[in-house]
Amino acid sequence: MNQEELFDLPEPVFEDGIMCKNCGVVQPVEQFQQMASGEIKRKCRSCARNQSKLIKALREIYPYPGEGYCCPICYRPLEEIAQHGQTRLQNWVLDHCHDTETFRGWLCHHCNVGLGAFNDNLQRVKNAVKYLESHERTRT
């Protein structure tokens, strides 16, 4: 398996703009957020705004986890995850399905980024498990 099969490559830049990875519409570069590093985000401002509204609505419906909550993927409590004082790791992240726009749960930052890196693709996650299991067998 090569890297292209594991991860999506960046969306191509077209002469007349960039294709939004969310809505698939080619739009002028000005419709995309530019990071301080110069990198251009691949989700148009309209889709980003709609996602922000969705997250806000889901937060109102699904309360933030209370004391003693653990991430349902890594089973670690926030105190363990945030023990080194990194700001991003000190809060739970609302996880939602990008296709159905439904709430899935509250995750730690690491696990949320992990799912995102696999583009929420179950087959890619299964491939990653097989890969790690294969390495584990050859290690022993």
> Which pLDDT tens digits describe the chain residue by residue (140 residues)?
454 555 555 555 566 789 998 899 999 999 998 888 988 988 999 999 999 999 999 999 999 999 999 999 999 999 899 888 787 788 999 999 988 999 999 999 999 999 999 988 999 999 999 999 999 888 76
Domain 70-140 top-level CATH class:
alpha beta
Between the CA of residue 82 and those of 25, 73, 77, what are the distances in Å?
39, 16, 9
Signed CA dihedral, 83, 89, 93, 98: sign only = negative
- Say what the pLDDT of residue 7 is: 52
Tokens 């110069």 label which residue?
38
- In CATH terms, the fold of domain 13-61 is Wheat Germ Agglutinin (Isolectin 2); domain 1 (3.30.60)
Of how many residues is the chain composed? Answer: 140
pTM of the complete model = 0.73
> For position 1, what pLDDT does the model report?
47
pLDDT at position 47, please? 92
Q: Give pLDDT, residue 136.
A: 84
**pLDDT value of position 10:** 54
DSSP single-letter state for residue 57: H
Where do the domains of the chain lie? 13-61, 70-140
| C-alpha 48, offset from chain centre | 13
Kindly state the tokens that stand for 99.
């296709």
Q: Which residues contact 56 (CB under 8 A, 6 or more apart)?
A: none
Whole-angstrom Cα distance, residue 56 to residue 127? 33
Sequence letter at residue 91 = N
